[in-house]
Chains A and B, each alone.
Chain A
């Protein structure tokens, strides 16, 4: 699997995502600059990392969604290349319309970083097939505006189509219906608020996040 991580000016989990991918795949991760207009050929997975993209003084991810690289990422996503947006990456995916819904400030109105327990709602996807269905795992959130929101009709559709990927068991930010991550229609795009890349090595709190990357390695090859 040849993975790429997009670097926006104030991405700050880009190195973390790249390192986690390298730990799991044993291959160097390609970094893509936000000003680039193309995703190189041969990229099997695109990761949009956490951080503050363009400062996020406007709605989180709103400016990043309009960056040159995102036009190319959207094209590749529509052509079926898997895209994994983590934290700010999910906000960007929502802002550019690849995933439904949007984000409010956390219900507690404060930034929150702590491990949370989430349930893997679908273990058939390319992102989650190394987990058991319904498995509870512990990975950290680190966000100020992670409070996922969508109208009831959209939420009912997501639930009906089985597109809720992970759900909080101890909702840290007020996300509607405890949703911690959602797929697109084809399950090739996943946006998720907690950070699996922070729980992959022995020095971390645990290694519960590792299997997202192992799932992708297994599925994409």
Chain B
């Protein structure tokens, strides 16, 4: 037997203290297989050891919450006995090493998290961050990630309906690929993962196990260096065809009551799924690896337990139901094997070739005994407020606006989203390019509104305000299409938590999420942490990506961005002070960074949003856009460019007494642009006053130009040309 040396312990990503704890828990030295199991179960990825104490502070309950964090995905009540099940998860490290497969298996993994609970996936979203556009790796990564997301999601036949993309040099060595899946189930058909029923069969279904992805979870819990390319073998390879079969077979079996518990094999594969099922059910599992369907010969117990081969599930069946279950998996051409039994020992016992290869207390792996750290942290110092005078008006307004709408962070994402099937399933009422996507609940009049948002430059400047803003922006985007925001999922992407300033970013962002969730009545129901996003000691911008879900009672009463009628009055809802700090304008036009981001007034956010949503729900307003990156001037440009059937421009003038460039480029929060017929607009203005909601009329839709006072006068075609050319130009440029 291999002797466990300090070097082997270190190779497994365990600290000397952690190894000492293992010795104490077992009262003996682990063998290599057992060490491998501890290595993945105690990895940051699986154990949340640095983050759990903070995540526990988040609001996770509310009238709509059926299952909060702790299950494979969050479950909320959307009325009529229907449930919406959703989660966002990262696949950052693998996607950097092998972008196509990394992104594809990220999509596959998050879909399994959702359908393992009994839901049919109905919408996919993604939140992507890449390095500078000019960085030599960026195009390769963009093209591979987008093709991978499309390759997997398109084959699955689940529409990819929304997403976001940022570019920043801090992601040059660590891109972020966060995928979100939203599914629908009946509330009385939700499946959990707690193993129970002594003697019940443990069943393996799906793909065979191979040697791919061994130690993926450990890899995803470490920093990169110049040799990270060598980690390619730890990346898994996806097969969306098998996943589609697995989805249909699982949903078919779930129509019966044969399943006691079910869990997908994601990170750390068989090890993590079995340990978690046993832990949640307060049970033990006795597994025989000889029964595991294998793709390769001569695999060891170590390899089989740590393999991250994709498209696999572990189930506990009721006794005597094996044959009917097997029939369904046979029909779909998938492996089905009984690989063990539930026991009452609270131990995970693994046998291979007649020998016990591992015998570990479940409590040491997945729950109370696993490490928990309250790591040292320092709060992020507050940044100075940027005065408008220090960030002057542009010399050439037209040229500046044209450049901004064609810039990396503001240009059209059409090049990306046209590679995704966004209309399959026939329920997409609003696809990519809106504030939030709107997906009808099949066979009903109601619809889900879904969005993914984060503004990492705000989070860098002030993690608390940035965290609040990320949550508030999803809430606002859902509101802008007419949805009532219900709950969100968080995907926390940060650097090395062992650095107090990085841990401070995390702690601050969680505080922001907490405050926003509480103030908006908008709980978090699922999430994922990705730490150690650093290369050679350089961390990424703190990026708490938020995925929000809301509900529209009537899909026909929704709003969208494009201007729709000549003569509609253009109203600005929400207070504008002209906050230029951390804005795109300050960064891209004046090269200014390091200033305080716009504060988020959560009470105003709620008041303004509820006001706007009311008009959409009553069918009075159908044209709304939230104000975010680039400020008012960019938002209105987007409303003009989005009109496709006929060109509709806009003519606005500034209210008296405002500083024009601060008013137009400022990124004050809690604001919307609304375009509405004159009578509606008039009523809104007077009712806004009564409701304490700032509202002002700016101008009118119409004409074939974008005019702002005597500052801006642009052809719609020129705006579109700039907006649409960024991605095609970037991706088609010759390689030098």
Contact = CB atoms under 8 A, between A and B. Distances in A.
**A and B together in one complex:** yes
Interface of A: 9-13, 15-16, 19-20, 50-52, 54-57, 110-114, 140, 142, 144, 195, 197-198, 200-205
Interface in B325-351: 332-333
B245 A10 contact: yes
Contacts of B419: 110-113
B422 interface: yes
Given A110-B147, A111-B150, A203-B440, A12 B244 contact: yes
Contacts of B241: 9-10, 52, 54-57
A205 B427 CA distance: 11
A112 B555 contact: no
Contacts of A202: 556
A195 B421 CA distance: 12
Nearest to B417: A113
A5 B421 CA distance: 21
Given A10-B241, A113-B421, A198 B154 contact: no
Given A9-B333, A10-B244, A12-B155, A203 B429 contact: yes
A204 B155 contact: no
A182 B422 CA distance: 26
Q: Interface centre among B239, B421, B556, by most A CB within 10 Å?
A: B421
B626 to A, nearest CB: 22
Contact of A52 (B244, B248, B425): B244
Contact of B244 (A9, A57, A140, A201): A9
B244 A113 contact: no
A113 B424 CA distance: 10
Q: Specify the main secondary structure of chain A where it touches its partner.
A: loop
The 10 closest A-B pairs by CB, nearest first: A12-B157, A55-B241, A203-B429, A16-B426, A10-B244, A142-B421, A52-B155, A113-B421, A111-B419, A111-B150
Given A55-B239, A198-B423, 10 more contacts: A10-B245, A12-B244, A15-B425, A52-B155, A55-B242, A111-B154, A197-B426, A203-B555, A204-B426, A204-B429
A19 B442 CA distance: 10
Nearest to A140: B423
A112 B240 CA distance: 18
Nearest to B415: A110
B585 interface: no
A56 to B, nearest CB: 8
A195 B159 CA distance: 14
A10 to B, nearest CB: 4
Contacts of B333: 9
Contacts of A113: 154, 418-423
Contacts of A51: 157
Given A111-B419, A142-B423, A12 B156 contact: yes
Nearest to A15: B425
A19 B248 CA distance: 18
Nearest to A52: B155
Contacts, number: 86
B424 A13 contact: yes
Nearest to B439: A203
B421 A111 contact: yes
Contact of A9 (B151, B245, B418, B426): B245
Interface of B: 147, 150-151, 154-157, 239-242, 244-245, 248, 332-333, 418-427, 429, 440, 555-556
21 contacts: A10-B240, A10-B244, A13-B157, A15-B425, A15-B426, A16-B426, A19-B426, A52-B241, A54-B241, A55-B242, A56-B155, A57-B241, A110-B147, A113-B420, A113-B421, A114-B418, A142-B423, A144-B154, A198-B423, A198-B424, A203-B555
B424 A142 contact: yes
Nearest to B158: A12
Nearest to A197: B426
A193 B690 CA distance: 55
Q: Interface centre among B150, B155, B239, B424, by most A CB within 10 Å?
A: B424
A16 B428 CA distance: 12
Nearest to A54: B241
A20 B424 CA distance: 12
Contacts of B245: 9-10
A15 B158 CA distance: 12
A141 to B, nearest CB: 10
A197 B426 CA distance: 8
Contacts of A54: 241
A17 to B, nearest CB: 9
Nearest to B150: A111
A56 B245 CA distance: 14
Contacts of B154: 111, 113, 142, 144
A197 B425 CA distance: 10
Contacts of A55: 155, 239-242
Q: Interface centre among B241, B440, B556, by most A CB within 10 Å?
A: B241
A110 B418 CA distance: 9
Contacts of B157: 10-13, 51
B271 to A, nearest CB: 28
A52 B154 CA distance: 9
A113 B418 CA distance: 5
B673 to A, nearest CB: 23
B605 to A, nearest CB: 29
A20 B442 CA distance: 13
Nearest to B159: A113
Contacts of A57: 241
Contacts of B420: 111, 113
A124 to B, nearest CB: 28
A12 B150 contact: no
Contacts of A198: 423-424, 426
A122 B293 CA distance: 54
A52 B239 CA distance: 12
Nearest to B157: A12
Contacts of B147: 110-111
A34 to B, nearest CB: 11
Contacts of A203: 427, 429, 440, 555-556
Nearest to A17: B426
A112 B418 contact: yes
A197 B429 CA distance: 14
Nearest to B242: A55
B332 A12 contact: no
A27 B119 CA distance: 27
